[in-house]
A and B are shown apart, each in its own frame.
Chain A
Amino acid sequence: MFVTDIRKDFYEVVANQRVALLVAADIDALCACKILQALFHCDHVQYTLVPVTGWQDLCTAFLEHKEQFRYFVLINCGANVDLLEMLQPDDDSIFFICDTHRPVDVVNVYNDTQIKLLIKQDDDLSVPSYDDIFRDEEDEDGDGDDSGNESDGGSEPSGKRRRFDEGAIERRIERQRARREWEARRREILFDYEQYEYHGTSAAMMFFELAWVLTKDTKDMLWWAVIGLTDQWVHDKITHMKYVTDIATMQRHVSRHNHRNEDEENSLSIDCMRISFEYDLRLTLYQHWSLYESICNSCYTSCSFKLWTLNGQKKLQEFLADMGLPLKQVKQKFNSMDISIKENLRDVIEESSNKYGMKDIRIQTFGVHFGFKNRFLAGDMVHAAAALLESTERDESDTTDNFIKALDSLSRSNIEWLHSGIDLAKKKLLAIQQTVASCICTNLILSQGPFLYCYLMEGTPDVKLFSKPLALTLLCKYLLRAFVHSTRNKRCKLLPLVMAAPKDVEKGTAIVVGIPPESETSDKKNFFGRAFEKAAESTSSRTLHNHFDMSIIELKTEDRSKFLDALITLLS
């Protein structure tokens, strides 16, 4: 069921209990977790934090902790499957689920006792009504008897009598027909409801609102909520419309917080955190890089210029000349650029970008600064934390370590880690850009009819990096965008992309991701989740649906071609 009063029905319930926090490995979940941890810290709530990367992890984590805990808080996982079916918990275990994954499983929605959904109902949910998908037990029982073994009808005298009644038989047939119809309709409704995967309001924002209701919201929490929202935008989970709306919500909170100190504005210590609304450039990490490298490695600019071509490089030089920025300045660290250039840099770039057809080089976002030299944009924080989360610098077994590191990098007291995350993010972006360029130049993207397909060969540079879901999704997004910009085939521009990359060479598995078509008005709804499931079922391919996003699966490399064929027939 949906929790309507998050304070009374969630926070006050868990406030005196020990709680298990099961947190998925994405940045929004990290931020939500940070906010909740801060709240728990205020009220001395004991909790155990368990990072989970997939369904298998979730099950093990639950089994390990079910003896000690009654209350489980699931962040960004658990809403889109029948959780009780999956975990088989005792009757007194209670799950609070704050998850952006949609559609929410109907059983979760209509379970009143054990499943409490911390999800805003004004999100575009369109859950089918109860009567459409569930029938009363009585009816079901009656039906079961009717269609089942006739001989045991003796226990029900009224049924027995009816059997010899002509009218009764007719009624029964009638009823069976109605039931079949109802079931067909139910399937249809469920199919429509479950067909597309998409994402709802950020979990971090949900918990920030909880903090606000409790009047315990701080600027740190507000900042985490902003990062959570920005993560959804960076990893392309929500529509532009939704992003703008949610940004406006955050903007209200930001001005409320800034207003609080207004009377002594000039006296607020420099060490205090300041969050400001920015209409900033869509250049990734430019404040921590050089402007040139940032332009080269940002998806938006590199696709617009088609930087993988010679012509594109020429165009970039023209663009820089048009802005009147000397190469020497552009190629040095942003921090060391001339103050005079930096002053109205954003306007200068916007003006020139307009000439080059990049109409929306600027985007509404937030920045933070504290101390004298620490300035960060929300988007850059997301990239840094994601790079830490999926760092491949060390062994595979260090997922928990990576999780903790990424979590810590969000605190102000761990600036060094944030900086190391930024360095990793730069490497990641470079790798993405190089892979995109080589895929486009060597025509690795094949049109399969209903969708585009690209397979990263084992041995491609940085292929290890792309065995991680977030990095591969980001690569997919960049690649599709680049492809749309480079292809002349109009039909291909509207196709979704399926991408596969080797995951584990020894086990012979590949990770497969499907993303919806790239367009300005895209609703970001993804049908690959169900399609993958069906294709795997029909070909009995050995797949593993372990990721919380259904559209990310693992697949035995040998089964790749038959899986693909099934997918093509399914979607044509």
Chain B
Amino acid sequence: MTSLSTPRCFWLVRFAARETAMDPSEVEFLAEKQLVKIIPNFSLDKIYLIGGDLGPFNPGLPVEVPVWLALNLKQRQKCRIIPPDWMDVEKLEEMRELERKEDAFTPVPSPHYMELTKLLLNHASDNIPKADEIRTLVKDIWDTRIAKLRLSADSFISQQEAHAQLDNLTLMEINTVREFLLDSLNCMYKLRSNLQPGSRKGQLTDY
């Protein structure tokens, strides 16, 4: 039988570039555009950048800057970072309880809450009170939401829904299941289209 191999094998070339999910560090990169308050210890006039104007910086006066700049300044010991309002043990505890109670996804404090937590806690943990508790709480919230996401994905598949709403989901959350979910939905779509007979005739004449 081997002598009768299909001619297709000779046509094997790298052909399709598959759409893949973003890398988490790319999502993190996007998160670095979020604003955060810092207290600088130097003075500098307003600086004008393509992405927007920054400053002016005065020692002791809080100013809002993107996270990437805040971290750079922090690493060079030129500022103190003020954690965002939501990065607070009590608020996060409330949020965690709510998230556990509700079946649907609850609104998150920041579209990049996971990335910001990681960035700020890793590089400026000395500026954030109760950093360890915050880390645990955010991770709890994340785990709860991911479990929910999986549950809803399963019910979505088993009930063969046609569309789903992704309200209140963050980019990072979607990103972790994106590849898997999309591939699964594609498969299911194709298996479902098997159910509709009729296109079969046209198919056969192709060969």
Partner among A44, A218, A264, A269 whose Cβ is within 8 Å of the Cβ of B132: A269
**Using a Cβ cutoff of 8 Å, how many contacts connect chains A and B?**
32
A491 vs chain B, min Cβ distance (A): 57
Contacts of A267 in B (CB 8 A): 129-131
Q: Does B77 contact A (CB under 8 A)?
A: yes
Q: Report yes or no: B77 in contact with A272, Cβ–Cβ below 8 A.
A: no
Give the complex CA separation of A555 and B78 in angstroms: 52
Contact bitstring B74-98, A, C-beta under 8 A = 1, else 0: 0111100000000000000000000
Chain B interface mostly helix, strand, loop or mixed?
A: helix
Contacts of B169 in A (CB 8 A): none
Interface residues of A in 40-72 (CB under 8 A from B): 41-44
Q: Does A261 contact B (CB under 8 A)?
A: yes
Q: Report yes or no: A269 in contact with B76, Cβ–Cβ below 8 A.
A: no
Partner among B75, B77, B78, B131 whose Cβ is within 8 Å of the Cβ of A269: B131
Contacts of B122 in A (CB 8 A): 271
Q: Report yes or no: B132 in contact with A270, Cβ–Cβ below 8 A.
A: yes
Contacts of A44 in B (CB 8 A): 76
Partner among B75, B78, B125, B130 whose Cβ is within 8 Å of the Cβ of A272: B125
Give the complex CA separation of A216 and B41 in angstroms: 11
Give the complex CA separation of A186 and B30 in angstroms: 71
Interface residues of B in 47-97 (CB under 8 A from A): 75-78
Known: A267-B131, A271-B131. A261 touches B126 (CB 8 A): yes
Q: Report yes or no: A218 in contact with B128, Cβ–Cβ below 8 A.
A: no
Give the complex CA separation of A521 and B121 in angstroms: 49
Contacts of B128 in A (CB 8 A): 269
A34 vs chain B, min Cβ distance (A): 15
Q: Report yes or no: A218 in contact with B77, Cβ–Cβ below 8 A.
A: yes
Known: A269-B121, A269-B132, A270-B132. A216 touches B77 (CB 8 A): yes
**A218: nearest residue on chain B (CB-CB)?**
B77
**A271: nearest residue on chain B (CB-CB)?**
B125
Contact bitstring B128-156, A, C-beta under 8 A = 1, else 0: 11111001000000000000000000000
Q: Report yes or no: A264 in contact with B76, Cβ–Cβ below 8 A.
A: no
B206 vs chain A, min Cβ distance (A): 58
Q: Does A268 contact B (CB under 8 A)?
A: yes
Give the complex CA separation of A432 and B61 in angstroms: 58
Give the complex CA separation of A269 and B132 in angstroms: 5
Give the complex CA separation of A155 and B122 in angstroms: 77
Interface residues of A in 198-242 (CB under 8 A from B): 216, 218
Contacts of A272 in B (CB 8 A): 125-126, 131
Contacts of B132 in A (CB 8 A): 269-271
Q: Report yes or no: B121 in contact with A41, Cβ–Cβ below 8 A.
A: no
Q: Report yes or no: B76 in contact with A43, Cβ–Cβ below 8 A.
A: yes
Contacts of B126 in A (CB 8 A): 261, 268-269, 272
Give the complex CA separation of A261 and B128 in angstroms: 11
A44 vs chain B, min Cβ distance (A): 8
Give the complex CA separation of A19 and B176 in angstroms: 46
Contacts of A271 in B (CB 8 A): 121-122, 125, 131-132
B18 vs chain A, min Cβ distance (A): 35
Contacts of B131 in A (CB 8 A): 267-269, 271-272
Q: Which of A41, A218, A261, A269 has its CB near the most chain B CB atoms (within 10 A)?
A: A269
Give the complex CA separation of A44 and B77 in angstroms: 12
B130 vs chain A, min Cβ distance (A): 4
**B129: nearest residue on chain A (CB-CB)?**
A267
Give the complex CA separation of A268 and B132 in angstroms: 8
B30 vs chain A, min Cβ distance (A): 25
B74 vs chain A, min Cβ distance (A): 11
Q: Report yes or no: A41 in contact with B125, Cβ–Cβ below 8 A.
A: no
**B78: nearest residue on chain A (CB-CB)?**
A42
Give the complex CA separation of A41 and B77 in angstroms: 10
Contact bitstring A22-41, B, C-beta under 8 A = 1, else 0: 00000000000000000001
Which residues does A use to contact B, with CB under 8 Å?
A: 41-44, 216, 218, 261, 264, 267-272
Please, could you name 7 A-B residue pairs with CB atoms under 8 Å apart, sorted by A?
A41-B76, A42-B77, A267-B131, A268-B131, A269-B126, A270-B132, A271-B125
A41-B75, A269-B132 known, 19 other contacts, Cβ within 8 Å: A41-B76, A43-B76, A44-B76, A218-B77, A261-B126, A264-B129, A267-B129, A267-B131, A268-B126, A269-B121, A269-B125, A269-B126, A269-B128, A269-B131, A269-B135, A270-B132, A271-B125, A271-B132, A272-B125
